[in-house]
Structure 1
């Protein structure tokens, strides 16, 4: 009996040490993300910046931003929701926290479920996906060119949560399509990315569509649908997200998130 208890105690200590190690590593990754991106605290949004933009894009910024709104350099966000780890898998509950920088593109997201912990990130101009069981053993550790592109696309699409990042700049341009849509083009390093953006009549972004690698070979249509705009620190952002692969056999929704907290320009871990 005493031997069994000793073995159990050693396993428990090992588990706790690995959890502490994983927590410390995540904290360091957040610190790296924020430290690599400089801030421009004096830069503010003014409506004359919108004069040459397509009409639906002007409608969007007039809706979500206020005159004199400071640019968002950093964001930290929490959400709840559901995640489907495979087309034939069931939905599982997930809680997430995410940190993003804008001056230098970057983010890190950690999603925790009852089965696994996942980390998606774009830090130091590199994309990576990690999935571990109980924070102990990695079952996915993926990186490379396709992940660089995919994670940068995620950061760009999720800029609706830090919308001054969607204002025109040297690397971001808007071109018209019609009265309710426009094309967003973004260039960074070797990447040339785009989204087709759909707006509703009041100015909300409701859908974002692009091409993203679903795996190592297949470039597929990727959609982000957004709903339920709410005010956080004087900024209107969507709080409902449905992330979808549009495949030949139909739409495959795999992530449904609801934002519960959003803070800006506070470059610290929760």
Structure 2
């Protein structure tokens, strides 16, 4: 069987936009994950135009989330950590990204599965006080093609509000013997029910460190 993935080093590029904004920002990301205990560092550079860019770092470790945003690499405009809504959201982001290190999606203290039908299942996910429910959808060969949740929060009009998210994954490739999707389109569902695409692109590199049993 597949050995358990312990560390992940992943890069992506695409376009991103904040809630209620029409303008997309060219975005490159570099993400690191550990799986025991679950942790994440997400570094992103978002370029609105040639003279305006933001550097973003999101993190999750030992059940706590953090978000830091700098304008023009030097002016801090957001610095938040260990907020209930942020902790929960960054935890759920880790679960969503686990399609890229799929051994983490095996049943564990973090995730319990309940079947819905032959092409979908419910994942009940927990890490301390952080919890949520994902619905995963599979194609006929067992690949995850979509997943959705309504247990996340995003900053809208200056305050954290509960939102939904739908992620579509495609273009599966075999990387280091692991079959993973390399293209993504993520949509947020605003409190009024509006669907708003906000992050789309592709994985440009991914490397694994396998835990030897």
TM surpasses 0.5: yes
- The 5 A counterparts of 1:193-208 are 193-208=132-147
Counterpart of 2:68?
A: 130
Counterpart of 2:50?
A: none
Counterpart of 1:105?
A: 38
Counterpart of 1:151?
A: 90
CA RMSD in angstroms comes to 1.7
Q: Which runs of 4+ in 1 moved over 4 A?
A: none
> Which has the larger share of strand?
2
Structure 1 contact 117–132 (Cα < 8 Å) conserved: yes
Deviation at 1:86, TM superposition (A): 3.6
Deviation at 1:128, TM superposition (A): 1.0
Counterpart of 2:16?
A: 83
Structure 2 contact 168–185 (Cα < 8 Å) conserved: yes
Residue 214 (str. 1) matches residue 154 (str. 2):
yes
1:62-94 alpha-carbon deviations (Å, 9 max, x no partner): xxxxxx221001100011111113422311111
Residue 262 (str. 1) matches residue 206 (str. 2):
yes
Residue 243 (str. 1) matches residue 207 (str. 2):
no
Tell me how far apart the structure 1 counterparts of residues 80 and 149 of structure 2 sit (CA, whole Å).
21
Q: Which SS does the other structure have where 2:23 is aligned?
A: coil
| Deviating more after overlay: 78-87 vs 233-242 | 78-87
Tell me how far apart the structure 2 counterparts of residues 172 and 138 of structure 1 sit (CA, whole Å).
35
Counterpart of 1:229?
A: 172
Q: When the two structures are superposed, what TM-score results if normalisation uses the length of structure 2?
A: 0.88
Structure with the greater alpha carbon radius of gyration = 1
1:266 and 1:93, CA in 2 relative to 1: closer, same or farther beyond 3 A? farther
Alignment coverage as a number of residue pairs: 200
Tell me how far apart the structure 1 counterparts of residues 177 and 21 of structure 2 sit (CA, whole Å).
41
- The 5 A counterparts of 1:168-183 are 168-183=107-122
Tell me how far apart the structure 2 counterparts of residues 219 and 158 of structure 1 sit (CA, whole Å).
20
Tell me how far apart the structure 2 counterparts of residues 91 and 156 of structure 1 sit (CA, whole Å).
25
Q: When the two structures are superposed, what TM-score results if normalisation uses the length of structure 1?
A: 0.70
1:166 and 1:266, CA in 2 relative to 1: closer, same or farther beyond 3 A? closer
Q: Which SS does the other structure have where 1:164 is aligned?
A: helix
Tell me how far apart the structure 2 counterparts of residues 112 and 266 of structure 1 sit (CA, whole Å).
28
1:266 and 1:133, CA in 2 relative to 1: closer, same or farther beyond 3 A? farther
> Which has the larger share of helix?
1
Structure 2 contact 3–210 (Cα < 8 Å) conserved: no
